[in-house]
Amino acid sequence: MAEYYDPATYPKEWNYLQPGTIIDQYVIERELAHGGFSSVYLARQRDDQIQVAIKEYLPRKLAHRTWNNKVVANDEENLRLFQCGRNLFLEEAKVLATLKHPNIVEVVSFFSANSTVYIVMTYDYGVALDKLIKKKKMKVTLEFLQTVFNALLDGVEMMHQHHFVHLDIKPANILIRPGYNPLLLDFGAVQAFPGGEQKQRSKVISKGFSPVEQCHGETQLIGPWTDLYAVAASIRSCLDAKAPVSAIERIKKDTLVPAVKAHKRKFPDAFLQAIDWAMTIDPANRPQSVQEFRQALQIFNEV
């Protein structure tokens, strides 16, 4: 651990690995994205020059990077939390390595370096669904929704069959590749079910997409239906061109106009009713499996 850390004088360029940095068998090209717990970089393998995405564990509230790229806890008080999170990050890598599906980001390898952990994933070209929605880059047709979410549900179903829930499905974590082929990203909140001991490094909440049981931290109520709420909310965000009302706000006063009413005559009733069903506040009253949700959507069965 560094002897002294002052956020006010900390060099901003140390927040990220710099282009040209060599780590293991890879060369960092540039930063792709970052969040509260990690950063993702575009990198290239040194031997064959194949591009990959590398995710680095660096929780900025708990740790920082030193001049020689070592990641260390900010102070003794945060050391235990940093080490615990690092172990959970490694667990995420191991989970992802077992989930081989064309619509789930693929882990190539993972390794420890610089006192932290790195996950190496295949690099896919595409645009995050939230950016397509925000910039209105595509026309939201039934065909578009059918293509994207049918394939996405394939990946989600396989994950559930392995007794894992994603817990952070949202347009920002859905990469749309050529041919409207989706790729589910960011498994930082992944959790085994049935519940039990809470193993997340922190509660991950995405406003508008996380259902009530997740917002309240009721781990015993979390299951496939939790992800299905998020999938339905992602479909709804495509229809509305914005995120739905948050689950917490809906508990206080549900102002979310049902999809079957808001988009009547624009899409099949069964399709809209299925979205409303999966976005029911009470988890016990939602579809309990991907198969059940598919049957309600009906239109997806025609693919």
pLDDT per residue rounded down to tens, the chain (303 residues): 445 677 788 888 888 999 999 999 999 999 998 877 889 999 999 999 999 999 999 998 999 999 999 999 999 899 999 999 999 888 888 888 889 999 999 999 999 999 999 999 999 999 999 999 988 777 899 999 999 999 999 999 999 999 999 999 999 999 999 999 999 998 888 888 886 555 544 578 899 999 999 988 888 889 999 999 999 999 999 999 999 999 999 999 999 999 999 999 999 999 999 999 999 999 999 999 999 999 999 855 444
User: What is the sign, positive or negative, of the torsion defined by CA atoms of 154, 159, 162, 168?
Assistant: negative
3-state secondary structure of 14: helix
Give Cα 182 to chain centroid, integer Å: 13
**Tokens 């070592």 belong to residue:** 70
C-alpha count within 13 angstroms, C-beta hemisphere, residue 78:
17
Q: CB neighbours (10 Å) of residue 103?
A: 21
Task: State phi, psi for 277 to the nearest 5 degrees.
Answer: -60, -50
* Predicted TM-score (pTM) of this structure: 0.88
Query: What stretches of 46-133 adopt beta strand conformation (E)?
Result: 51-57, 63-65, 71-73, 107-113, 116-122, 127-128
pLDDT score recorded for residue 302:
45
Domains of the chain are: 12-122 (3.30.200.20), 127-302 (1.10.510.10)
Look up residue 299 and give its two tokens.
Answer: 């239109």
pLDDT score recorded for residue 202:
56
pLDDT score recorded for residue 37:
83
pLDDT score recorded for residue 300:
52
Nearest C-alpha neighbor of 268 from the set 241, 242, 298, 228:
298
3-state secondary structure of 138: coil
Give CA–CA dist 130/243, Å, rounded: 9
Nearest C-alpha neighbor of 38 from the set 90, 78, 2, 106:
90
